[in-house]
């Protein structure tokens, strides 16, 4: 029994056991129409929220640094931001100057038109937020 308690001379403790990498399952796209609408509205809210927070920060900077009136500055900044986003959608339609010899695929054209509608919708949403601020302030 005393031999069981002794460590053999050539024995080396084992190294750390490598961990198996955890495979994170990829999120599946929504399969129902209601799920797709919810996913699209969530993305719209995130984009509009990000752009609106930038517009609010710009408005606050103008109010504090330029000593402007907050009740008129906030809606005007939202109007200008919304118009710039909507014009960005129109610019994305007309900004394709280089045309390959074979022309563009129908899928590419449909993507451009879809992007333009999305930009225009986001711009109108931001303008509507500016109008709500003008009514409330």
For tokens 């330029």, name the residue: 66
Please tell me the predicted confidence (pLDDT) of residue 111: 83
Q: Which one is predicted more confidently, 37 or 95?
A: 37
State the pLDDT at residue 17. Answer: 73
Q: Tens digit of pLDDT for each residue in 15-55?
A: 787 788 888 888 888 889 999 999 989 999 999 999 999 99
Please report, for residues 13, 70, 98, 114, the alpha-carbon distance to residue 109 in angstroms, rounded to integers and kept in the order given.
Answer: 64, 42, 14, 9
CA distance 70 to 84: 21
Summarize the confidence of residues 98-113 as an average pLDDT.
77
The pLDDT of residue 114 is above 70: yes
Tens-place pLDDT, residues 50-91: 999 999 999 999 999 998 998 899 999 999 999 999 998 888
Task: Say what the pLDDT of residue 102 is.
Answer: 73
In this prediction, residue 3 carries a pLDDT of 59
pLDDT of residue 84: 96
**Better pLDDT: 56 or 8:** 56
The band of 127, judged by pLDDT with boundaries at 50, 70 and 90, is: very high
What are the distances in angstroms from CA 124 to CA 56, 70, 89, 107, 109?
Answer: 17, 22, 11, 26, 23
Predicted pLDDT of residue 65: 94
């Amino acid at each position: 029994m005393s031999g069981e308690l002794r460590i053999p001379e050539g024995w080396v403790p084992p190294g750390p056991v490598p961990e198996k990498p955890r495979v994170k399952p990829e999120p599946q796209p929504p399969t129902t129409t209601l799920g797709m609408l919810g996913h699209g509205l969530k993305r719209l809210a995130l984009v509009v929220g990000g752009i609106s927070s930038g517009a609010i920060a710009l408005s606050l900077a103008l109010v504090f640094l330029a000593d402007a009136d907050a009740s008129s500055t906030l809606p005007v900044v939202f109007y200008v931001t919304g118009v710039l986003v909507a014009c960005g959608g129109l610019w994305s339609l007309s900004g394709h100057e280089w045309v390959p010899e074979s022309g563009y695929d129908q899928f590419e054209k449909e993507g451009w038109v879809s992007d333009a509608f999305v930009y225009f919708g986001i711009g109108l949403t931001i303008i509507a937020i500016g109008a709500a601020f003008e009514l409330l302030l």
